[in-house]
Structure 1
Amino acid sequence: MREINTEKLPIKVWARLVEEEAMEQARHLANHPHARFHIALMPDVHQGYGMPIGGVLATEGVIIPNAVGVDVGCGVRAVKTNQTVEDVRSKLRNILNQVQRSIPTGFNHHKKPQHSPLFDRAPDVPVIREELKNARYQLGTLGGGNHFIEIQRDDRDFIWIMLHSGSRNFGKKVADYYNRLAVQLNERSGSPIPREWQLACLPVDSKEGQNYLAAMEYCLEFARENRRHMMNVVLDICRSILPGFACGKQLDVHHNYAAMEKHFGRQVMVHRKGAVRAVGEVIVPGSMGSPSYICRGLAHPESFSSCSHGAGRVMGRNEARRRIAVESVIKDMQSLGIELFKARKGDVAEECRQAYKNIDQVMEDQKDLVEMKVRLQPLGVVKG
């Protein structure tokens, strides 16, 4: 970790290189009137909206919708199975094919509404209520972008299943609505926060702040339930194809959220945008074609007990499409022996490993934040 002391608050950086756009956003955070202690940048840091992805921010008295992001509750779920590579090898394509047919990806939803007790306990917040009907069709869907379902192997040749997804349209609706509301309220109150920083905030004890927190918490629940539904589908497919299939405890972590926590002796609102709470067991996924890790969080106080949520982009999606040919990505996956299932491959370059930082370098840069326990190599992936 290195420390930058040119702003109102220090910026503590675990990344070897930080693009200037992301560093400018970090400087805005360090000068935010409600920020406390310091800003922490994880090794996967890169530019986002308002706050860099891979950033951790503590505030007092306010919550900042853009410091949580648009996919509220996005996260990763993983489980170890009793199957080995030899058990699965000849049946891998069949499993992945059935997964792709059973779980809608991209903008596709289920044709019939899905059932969950979660829908009966939605908070009385208009932006949530308005999306409830659509959400019944979105539960158990993967989405697009960097979301994935992977079959992986550990160093002892046991099979793991990992998936990455979020709160679907709930998260974007909540983020957009409350960011607009925060901008309006800040302008009416004469807030000193420049609008171009995209860091408008809501007082935690206001009606608007309380409603955002209720909506955000519901998005976290929905995202976790969404991942659980998909994982159950994958496990059922595995049970139908693999004799004697069984699995252990499922791990699940969020990486876009805010929570009230105690740090340095004070209660603060910790915003993690593309960052994971590094306490207990932690999942750090790689990019498409690269390893992922199961870790033990070291609860480093200077990182607000956080770590990276993945590898972090080095190219934007448009740049990746311009610079990297679809055919080269497919050949790269084939050379690695990884089965790729993706309905539309025209945008596959957006998520190839060359568009991301080297995950092993990221893990090296945060060895004081997490202890690596299991290294997982992908065997096959279903991409959104």
Structure 2
Amino acid sequence: MKIQGKYNSATVYTDNIDSASLNQLYSMLNIPCFADTRIAVMPDVHLGRGSVVGFTMTCNDFINPHVIGVDIGCGVVAYNLGEQDIDLATFDAFIHASVPAGSNVHRDISKKLVRENHALDALIQKVAPAEHRRILLSIGTLGGGNHFLELDRDRKGNIWLIIHSGSRNLGLQVCRYHQNAARRSIKERFQGAGAFHGMEYMPLKNGGEEYLHDMQIAQAYAEENRDAMAAIIIEGFFKKQPAHCERVASIHNYVNFDDMIIRKGAISAHKDELVIIPLNMRDGCLLAKGKGNKDWNYSAPHGAGRLLKRSETKELISLEDYQKSMQGIYSSCIRQDTIDESPMAYKDATELSGLIGDTVAIVSEMKPIYSFKS
């Protein structure tokens, strides 16, 4: 599907796009900062804050902090643990005791988890000095919302540790700092700048490069956070070294400084690049290999995509149906307060698999045996 706006057009790789997401995309295409780029929107497209989720574009001379949003560097990492015989109740107790989730953080700063990082320290002092200690205590924590931790089994019988998390409070602080800078930039350069309310942008040469610098540090922090959780689990429970395990990682909200493509709710899928695509709590993940499709901006969807708003799930999905959908998967988190993350809140996984053949080849379907989220 081709969508034409005032300054650019976008190719949407699905016909299943709701009117709210379509209107949001039209609004973006009517803003000058999206001109002169190649825009491709993934099949898991849905309404987002600041930008449709599933959005990709090549970089130009402007940057819009609202596109990447507050969860800078959010992504998934997967570690192949090989064949394992796991007591899932014991594993669940270990996770609850060892990996803080929701708004919780570690009690003490671990020198093993938190490495000396002058660039990170300087960034925190700039954007949120009062949060410095808490941001360091957040390394190795899961967070909430759609972030999760699970064990999946692949076609060969191998168990994979899957972790989906982001940059925690640091990403929020970096985003807010530069959104305010973008607002000031718009006021200086335009009359009637209210037309860009909530989507203010700035030139690379006037604030944009500073944002990219800070965002790169936040992206690295998010990756370090996921790997810290993996180390806690792989070393502490499985008595293995993460470095000895096959590792696959896909980042969702970021600028890739190698190909200079912005991705919001999308992942890199260059030729032969291994990627991980989570579907939902019941259906697990897809392990896939990129085909390097330029028309897709060398990208793939980051998941199945939301079908229902979080507010809608409380009215449309019963706890009983949620519990039934998760039968056979060990979880202590199937509760009313996580119903907005139930499998029925997401688009059909089979539909997604049928839409991505031009950009990735599916290597393995990985089915969950354990699921945890806050």
Deviation sequence 1:292-333 (CA, Å, 0-9, x none) = 111111121112111101111011111112221233312321
1:226-271 superposed Cα distances (whole Å, 9 cap, x missing partner): 000101111124325x9x9996222222110123565xxxxxx522
1:308 aligned partner: 301
CA gap of 1:83–1:46, structure 2 versus 1, over 3 A, is: same
- 1:188-207 to 2 correspondences below 5 Å: 188-190=188-190, 195=195, 198-206=198-206
Query: 1:28 Cα deviation (Å)?
Result: 2.3
- Of the three residues 112, 117, 139, the one matched with 1:119 is 117
The whole-number CA distance in structure 2 between the counterparts of 1:383 and 1:68 is 23
Q: Say whether residues 1:258 and 2:251 are aligned partners.
A: no
Instruction: Judge conservation of contact 1:82–1:245 (CA < 8 Å) in 2.
Output: no
Secondary structure of the structure 1 residue equivalent to 2:149:
strand
Query: How many percent of aligned residue pairs carry the same amino acid?
Result: 29
Q: Tell me which of 353, 360, 369 is aligned to 2:359.
A: 369
Partner of 1:162: 162
| Equivalent position SS for 1:361 | helix
Residues 193, 118 of structure 1: CA spacing in aligned structure 2 closer, same or farther, 3 A cutoff? farther
Q: TM-score, normalised by structure 2?
A: 0.91
Compared CA separation, residues 191 and 212, structure 1 to 2 (3 A): farther
| Structure 2 match to 1:320 | 313
Q: Secondary structure at the match of 1:367?
A: coil
Determine if contact 2:33/2:64 at 8 Å carries over to the other structure. Answer: no
- Identify the residue that residue 56 of structure 2 maps to in structure 1: 56
Q: State the Cα distance separating 1:169 from its structure 2 match.
A: 0.2
d(CA) in 2 for partners of 1:39 and 1:146? 26
Distance in 2 (CA, whole Å) between partners of 1:222 and 1:245 is 18
> In structure 2, which of residues 266, 271, 277 is the aligned counterpart of residue 275 of structure 1?
266
Contact 1:123 1:214 in 2 (8 A): no
Letter in 2 for 1:114: S
Distance change in 2, residues 1:151/1:259 (3 Å): closer
Describe the shift of the 1:354–1:381 C-alpha distance in structure 2 as closer, same or farther (beyond 3 A): same
Letter of the 2:98 counterpart: S
> Aligned partners of 2:242 and 2:181: how far apart in 1?
49
Task: Report the 3-state secondary structure (helix = DSSP H, G, I; strand = E; otherwise coil) of the residue aligned with 2:367.
Answer: strand
Counterparts in 2 of 1:62-141, with a 5 A limit? 62-84=62-84, 87-88=85-86, 91-115=87-111, 116-122=114-120, 124-125=122-123, 126-127=126-127, 129-141=129-141
Which residue number in structure 2 is paired with residue 265 of structure 1? none
Report the count of equivalent residues.
367
* Aligned-partner Cα distance in 1 for 2:188–2:133: 34
Q: How does 1:198-217 map to 2 (within 5 A)?
A: 198-206=198-206, 208-217=207-216
**TM-score, normalised via structure 1 length:** 0.89
Give the aligned CA root-mean-square deviation in angstroms. 2.3
Q: Which runs of 5+ in 2 are unaligned?
A: none
Query: Deviation of residue 130 (structure 1)?
Result: 4.8
Structure 1, unaligned runs of 5 or more: 263-268
Find the counterpart in structure 2 of residue 286 from structure 1.
279
The partner residue of 1:331 within 324, 328, 331 is 324
Q: Aligned with 1:205: secondary structure?
A: helix
Residue number in structure 2 paired with 1:266 = none
Greater strand proportion:
1
For the pair 1:17 / 2:16, whether they are aligned, the reply is yes
Tell me how far apart the structure 2 counterparts of residues 161 and 370 of structure 1 sit (CA, whole Å).
22
